[in-house]
Amino acid sequence: MAKVFAIANQKGGVGKTTTCINLAASLVATKRRVLLIDLDPQGNATMGSGVDKHALEHSIYDLLIGECNLVDAMQFSEHGGYQLLPANRDLTAAEVSLLEMKMKESRLRNALAPIRENYDYILIDCPPALSMLTINALVAADGVIIPMQCEYYALEGLSDLVNSIQRIAELLNPSLKIEGLLRTMYDPRISLTNDVSAQLKQHFPDTLYQTVIPRNVRLAEAPSFGMPALVYDKSSRGAIAYLALAGELVRRQRANARSATA
């Protein structure tokens, strides 16, 4: 059964969508079956996967409000090699629509239940706010991957996000945990980057990924061509870093599975 990870941070511009697209493609490169869910009304993960958000007949919004089924909403990213539940501006209306529905926090979890066995990993690209959409992602997820820049305000926002995750776990999803912290746009030449990185190692030694994602022009360029960096320039530092992250994620899952059965 698929492991479901929400890629979340209440702060925007930290690399959530970049991480979703490139981690999904890297997991596919390791022969894993992957579904990427775009849960952000901006639809950036959809466009970055090579799917035109303006030409969608059905989207994740239609699925959440019960107006289509999974098969109707599903797309395929040819460059990424993964399945995609796309999004566009229609998703903005979901905030209001969901409030009027029964079990509004678990709409996504219930929609995914029939197909979890078809995938090894399901990644959810969350909007940069603790909205009803993000709550749906956290209720559906087994774990949260938190991309963050190594800067002062990121640390401040991290404590708020951790508290929110713990609250969701207490009220709605007891199995939810922080899967990992991912340092993005990493530049070791900046002293603050190293200081914040050291604090993360101290306070989150078991969840901080060893892999760091560097600042990389190819990573920034790839979405405009509708493809992951692994396809756009497989020799780029960004592409190599996300391959390393995929490997670390898979190894961590194996280790967790072994310890659970020991």
105, 167 in Cβ contact below 8 A? no
CA–CA dist 70, 115 (Å, integer): 9
123, 36 in Cβ contact below 8 A? yes
Tally the C-alpha atoms within 13 A of residue 46's C-alpha that lie toward its C-beta. Answer: 24
In the prediction, which pLDDT does 79 show?
Answer: 96
- Give the H/E segment covering residue 239: helix 237-261
pLDDT per residue of the chain (262 residues) written in tens, 0 to 9: 899 999 999 888 899 999 999 999 999 999 999 999 999 999 999 999 999 999 999 999 999 999 999 999 999 999 999 999 999 999 999 888 888 888 899 999 999 999 999 999 999 999 998 899 999 999 999 999 999 988 877 777 888 899 999 999 999 999 999 999 999 999 988 888 899 899 999 989 999 999 999 999 999 999 999 999 999 999 999 999 999 999 999 999 888 888 777 6
In the prediction, which pLDDT does 12 show?
Answer: 85
In the prediction, which pLDDT does 96 show?
Answer: 86
Q: Where are the domains of the chain?
A: 3-256
DSSP 1-32: --EEEEE--SSSSSSHHHHHHHHHHHHHHTT-
Torsion angle, CA of 69/168/95/47, rounded to 10 degrees? -60
**Residue 257 Cα distances to 42, 176, 245, 253, angstroms:** 36, 16, 18, 6
Question: pTM here?
Answer: 0.96
CA–CA dist 82, 246 (Å, integer): 14
Residue 134 DSSP SS3 = helix
What does DSSP assign to residue 234?
Answer: T
For residue 241, how far is the Cα from the chain centroid? 16
CATH topology for 3-256 is: Rossmann fold (3.40.50)
In the prediction, which pLDDT does 146 show?
Answer: 96
In the prediction, which pLDDT does 100 show?
Answer: 85
CA–CA dist 141, 118 (Å, integer): 16
> Shortest CA distance to 64 belongs to which of 36, 95, 35, 89?
95
Cα distance from N-terminal residue to C-terminal residue, the chain: 20
